[in-house]
Structure 1
Amino acid sequence: MSAHAHPELTKNQSLVFGSLSEAGGPLTAYAILDLLREDGFRAPLQVYRALDKLVEYGMVHRLESLNAFVACAHTGCSAHGAAAFAICEQCGDVIEFTPDEALKVLGEWTKAQQFSLSRMTIELRGTCSTCALKAI
């Protein structure tokens, strides 16, 4: 069983996760639907139901600013309830990372404010090093 496998995955959840894993980048729910039409997917609701569970399991993340989803790049996301992404506005590349120091500061703030945090997604938008080099 892989690091991302979850024993309760349905057929639809497995297909959606597989399509995101193979994509190598973020996909919208409608792009996933198009990829899975041959597998019997007919309605966006089928994709959204699967995505909701995969997000809950920590296997998939929703990129709010892109209204898209991406397969988790590392294990343990569901354990710390946070994910961070650097999104290149030029090429669309998405890099997932864990900003430990930022998570610590934000965690301390939530405790001080008595704010009950359910999840956290940090999105950095800018230009990746590859695109920056191309601009020179």
Structure 2
Amino acid sequence: MTKRGEQMRAEILAILRAADGAMSAYDVLNRLQASHPKIAPPTVYNALAALTKTGCVHRVESLKAYIACQCDATHQSAVLSICDECGTVEERTAPSVIETLSGFVEETGFLPQRHVVEVHGLCSSCGSGA
């Protein structure tokens, strides 16, 4: 791994950790262009892919966006709660849910490779007025 690649991943991870919500790759690209005016989209996508592979970042599939891992268990599958009102994404690990889901699909001979569990609704702040 090149030192430049490591530096780029560290910068992107810092951007995602400082964000208020999930960010698209192009949101990340726009933030990086201030300090890296010639940066190209593939650089950001490659860094996000590497960070996702290591578990430091999660791809929020339904939003086509990314968040920094919020839990200490970076290699466990996460359950993401996504607020449809304010956009907040909360992460929780739920090993028993993942095990149950895996067992359910394995009954048909399907071999799960990764899990993406997203729940849309209202966070405690947005839902308290409902």
Q: Which of the five TM-score ranges fits, normalised by the shorter chain?
A: 0.7 to 0.9
Cα drift, residue 10 of structure 1: 1.1
2:69 to 64, 67, 72: 72
Aligned equivalents of 1:24 and 1:91: distance in 2?
10
Q: Which runs of 5+ in 1 are unaligned?
A: 1-8
Cα drift, residue 61 of structure 1: 0.4
Counterpart in the other structure of 1:46: 43
Deviation per CA, 1:17-50: give whole Å up to 9, x if none.
1110111321111110111112215211111010
Cα drift, residue 76 of structure 1: 1.9
Matches within 5 A, 1:5-84: 10-40=6-36, 42-78=39-75, 80=76, 82-84=77-79
Cα drift, residue 62 of structure 1: 0.3
Cα drift, residue 86 of structure 1: 0.6
What is the TM-score of this pair, normalised by structure 2? 0.87
Deviation per CA, 1:44-89: give whole Å up to 9, x if none.
11110100000000000000110100000012232x3x11111010
Contact 2:78–2:92 (Cα < 8 Å) also in 1: yes
Q: Calculate percent identity across the aligned residue pairs.
A: 33
Q: Segments of 4+ in structure 1 off by > 3 A?
A: none
Contact 2:98–2:115 (Cα < 8 Å) also in 1: no
What's the secondary structure of 1:134's corresponding residue? coil
**RMSD across aligned C-alpha pairs, in angstroms?**
1.6
Q: Which runs of 5+ in 2 are unaligned?
A: none
What's the secondary structure of 2:42's corresponding residue? helix
